[in-house]
Amino acid sequence: MLYVSTVEAREQLAELVNQASYGKERVIIKRHGRGVAAIVSLDDLKLLQTLEDATDIKEALIAREEIEQTGGIRWGDLKQEK
């Protein structure tokens, strides 16, 4: 993994994009010593999106199972909780 400052990222953007795209290098952009963004390959981004989708599906299945087991929450009860 490569770490660069925001100033370096501005100066070297084309090269950093090439490193992420072709070299599969992950680039962390830092501001005041802290990571604030990243440049990653499109393959890495697609993998991240796939993992997020899988997590969302798992959480939805868990929620559906809870609803089936408990009978769900009535709308009126939910409104009163506000």
Q: What is the pLDDT of residues 36-53, one digit of tens each?
A: 999 999 999 999 999 999
Neighbouring residues of 35: CB distance < 8 A, sequence distance ≥ 6: 3, 28, 29
Instruction: Taking residues 11-31, report their average pLDDT.
Output: 97
The pLDDT value recorded for residue 51 is 97
Q: Who's near 30: CB < 8 A, 6+ residues apart?
A: 3, 4, 5, 6, 36
The whole model's pTM is what? 0.71
